[in-house]
Structure 1
């Protein structure tokens, strides 16, 4: 009996030793691979901070981040250059190594690129070899599935062919009336709040209200349902987003914190998918009952799922659910955040409110934008463009070299992740001039091409083949929102407002945007 126990212990010890050796060998192999990638970049003259064994530059990133948080103070001053407080390690290394450098997070090698000429090259590349980094998007799977935002290669191209036509400008202009209808309840709500104050200015936190409008627009225009029907989906996706971004997943920081919330995220994911599938089934039944021939985005996704078997990446049901999740998130969150920043900046600059009011009165019949007048709102467009320059909703363009890829003079090895920090590029004085940190919409008076040294230095919607498909939709919706709000109200920044841009997958106002609103 004792001999048998001894044998079992020996076997267990050997098995454990084998597992430990396998894990250690796999880790060392991955570490050596990362170092090989680093050497390939260094041989091209690309420098960067020296990594520590196994952890790369993560310890240094955490120290720099902690130091920045301690130094950060909440003041009434609105400073538009916030990258040094949100992403201090990028700013720190850029000052030391320049606009192109390499760093690592554990086993992953990264290439920071904020050089205008290299960004131009990335913008012109027509290849599927640059895609979303699988390690990063894995953390977003619960929120985005394998829809167009996460997908790579031919599967991404297949989804793009289905979705892109719905956002061509001719179709987006046909949605202007619907956008106006979705905004009217917000205007009435704010008017009622002012009346409740006896006609005096009301203090309003605009964030939630703008999300409601944006959600209603995307749900009705593209998915055939109203916000009331989809608000539970939006709410749960928002909770998933907030939970994920607390984990520091983006740069490999604090990943251990992900585990306590894994069950919560999985539960929310299942609930969202069930709600979306119920909406899809309702839409299918609607078509059977009414013989509708309406070809909105929901219908295109349903038809695309029929052909999904030819791609072989997911079941038709999963294909539908994943892309609906992508549209729900991308279609309302980014637009609402940008609208909040627009109102914050306009609250600081009442002279631009007056210019918009005059333009809307001149261009729009009865103060209501329509398909014809929307393209003539030049002042509104300039304000939106300048807002997206200073406060782009997406902070990064991130790509992984799925195959070895040449970008200009740089040969990017397979497996290297490329990062371009958009707000840093948008504030480069060599591209935008000495007033790069100032709010000056007039710089766009002759369009993007004349606003800076090169139009490639302006990338609020990303760049290259993966340029945001909803660009036209977002711009038109923002024009509708701003023209209606500014033509009916004047507003200033409330003393309650605390300027603190924060990164939660998007660059958001951490404490909301509070304004004092007065009816004209």
Structure 2
């Protein structure tokens, strides 16, 4: 009995020492290594670090209700970073809990980080802890050799030649939106006040479900619905709280649904969709059934999240900006009609619609959905003159780079799709839009661009729209930057 008491006491003491090391000693050592290089930052407090200071800074943000505030989202969403940038410059450190962050917004450092090919640079480890149930070990959360292997399998399935085969799915989903808007306009005698978010959400949900699951897309929509509920509870992932139990139940439902669709697929006719490609890629690459199933399930969920939410928000912001800038709406509509001439749109026509590409680039330039890029140094790494210790998170604020007057000129805050007339690379010496640069460039950019081009072209061909009195610009940062209160447009049939 005495031995057991001693053993438990030592185990408890060991746990306390381990916790003390993770919460106090390790963060102090990382900050010291950054401080030795002359990197400064706000002083952290015990346990809460800089969290209280961040909350205090964000609480004083004043929202500007005028549409002209569209481009100045940095101060609104990241007031605390703006405050520290003025105080410490473009390179400084701060702490979130026991996570140490190096904010590095210097253009040269950003360029080096984004083009880094080393597998020692990866996604932050807390992401897997917080979203493990939602995303598993898929392409969005994995690192190192596993990430590289999954990207090698997935990338060919999202090349443009494969995306062209999905255009019929995108057409079907877009026509559903057209019919719904026509019905509402007729019901409201020619001019409808439409909250477009719901329609863009339905459109994107339908496209990604059809692209992933083909003829079994109804099952895909059911999976997407369950996944949208499976957000999890940050931290405390393994405690049987009510929220965690609900999350685990949803995870099991999603897993069972995906595996059932895979099982049904084996019994049915061959379909060349993303699910089929995932299954075939997994069979070639993985030996065990368990590993194959895990790859298919995790990456189905990852593709859904990456391809669904970002497209919804991108389409919504594009239409809002067209409604707020009538001259550009007329210019882009004229270009669409000249190319289509009443014919059914195809991939070749979309490729010629350069003004829509300029609009999409400008939309992501003005309201970058993924405003903050976060990487973690998985080993000691060096970028320029900065040595980044293992375990430090690296942040850079893309939206701040998009309003850097030295990079973009005095028109940085002006809505001007024409700045991308020579393409993204021709617009700036440090291009960051619309889908990133370097080896970690977004895999789904071809699918996203075809979706956005097609839905915008068809909506412009059939309707004119302007901002509704019910619209109030209120960007909020969730998984991506989205309009907190939705986007209301006055829509009229052409």
Q: Same fold (TM over 0.5)?
A: yes
Aligned pair partner of 2:310 in 334, 345, 363 = 334
The answer to whether structure 1 residue 517 and structure 2 residue 491 are counterparts is yes
The residue number in structure 2 matching 1:427 is: 403
Task: Tell me the TM-score normalized by structure 2.
Answer: 0.93
Among 440, 449, 454, the residue aligned to 1:475: 449
Mapped pair 1:271 → 2:262: no
> What is the rounded CA distance, in whole Å, between the counterparts of 2:56 and 2:226 in structure 1?
33
> How far off its partner does 1:161 sit?
1.1
Q: Which residue of 1 is the match for residue 175 of structure 2?
A: 184
CA distance in structure 1 between the aligned counterparts of 2:175 and 2:216, rounded to whole angstroms: 14
Distance in 2 between residues matched to 1:320 and 1:159, nearest whole Å? 10
Contact 1:58 1:106 in 2 (8 A): yes
Q: CA deviation at 1:401?
A: 0.7
Query: How far apart are the structure 1 equivalents of 2:240 and 2:112?
Result: 36
* CA displacement at 1:339 relative to structure 2: 0.2
Q: TM-score, normalised by structure 1?
A: 0.88
Q: 1:73 Cα deviation (Å)?
A: 6.0
Mapped to 2, the partners of 1:96 and 1:34 lie a distance apart of 22
Distance 2:124 2:166 in 1: 34
Change (3 A) 1:435 1:150: same
Structure 1 residues 499, 259: closer, same or farther in 2, change over 3 A?
farther
SS of 2:373's equivalent in the other structure is strand
Q: How far off is 1:308 after superposition? A: 4.6
1:129-208 aligned at under 5 Å gives the runs 129-199=120-190, 201-208=191-198
The answer for the alignment partner of 1:370 in structure 2 is: 346
- Structure 1 window deviating more from structure 2 (216-225 vs 428-437): it is 216-225
Q: What SS does the aligned partner of 2:200 have?
A: helix
1:298-352, Cα deviation, whole Å (9 max, x unpaired):
1221123224546x89622122111110111111211111000011111101111
Cα shift at 1:166: 1.3
Among residues 337, 341, 358, which one is paired with 1:382 in the alignment? 358
The equivalent position to 1:319 in structure 2, one of 295, 307, 325, is 295
Aligned mates of 2:399, 2:359 — CA distance in 1: 17
Conserved? CA contact 2:41–2:84, under 8 Å = yes
Shift of 1:440: 1.1
Q: What secondary structure sits across from 1:96 in the alignment? A: helix
Q: 1:405 aligns with which of 374, 381, 393?
A: 381
Between the aligned partners of 1:407 and 1:202, the Cα distance in structure 2 is: 53
For residues 386 and 140 of structure 2, what CA distance do their matches in structure 1 show? 26
Question: Secondary structure of 2:368's match?
Answer: coil
Q: Write the distance in 1 (CA, Å) between the matches of 2:240 and 2:82.
A: 26
Which structure 1 segments of 5+ residues have no match? Answer: 1-6
RMSD between aligned residues:
2.6
Checking the alignment, whether the CA contact within 8 Å between 1:401 and 1:417 is kept in structure 2 is yes
* 1:75, distance to aligned residue in structure 2 (A): 5.5
After the TM superposition, which of the residue ranges 401-410 and 81-90 deviates more from structure 2?
Answer: 81-90
> How many equivalent pairs are there?
493
> After the TM superposition, which of the residue ranges 90-99 and 336-345 deviates more from structure 2?
90-99
SS at match of 2:60: helix
Matched, 1:37 2:30: yes
Counterparts of 2:176 and 2:380, CA distance in 1: 52
* Paired position in structure 1 for 2:266: 284
Q: Contact 2:209–2:218 at 8 Å: present in 1 too?
A: no
**Residue 3 of structure 1 aligns with which residue?**
none
Counterpart of 2:41 (choices 39, 45, 48) is 48
Q: Provide, for residues 117-150 of structure 1, a one-character-per-residue CA deviation record: whole Å limited to 9, x for no partner.
A: 1111112211111111111232111211111111
SS at match of 1:170: helix
The answer for unaligned runs of 5 or more in structure 2 is: none
Q: Does 1:58 align with 2:51?
A: yes
Question: Which of these residues, 210, 226, 229, is aligned with residue 219 of structure 2?
Answer: 229
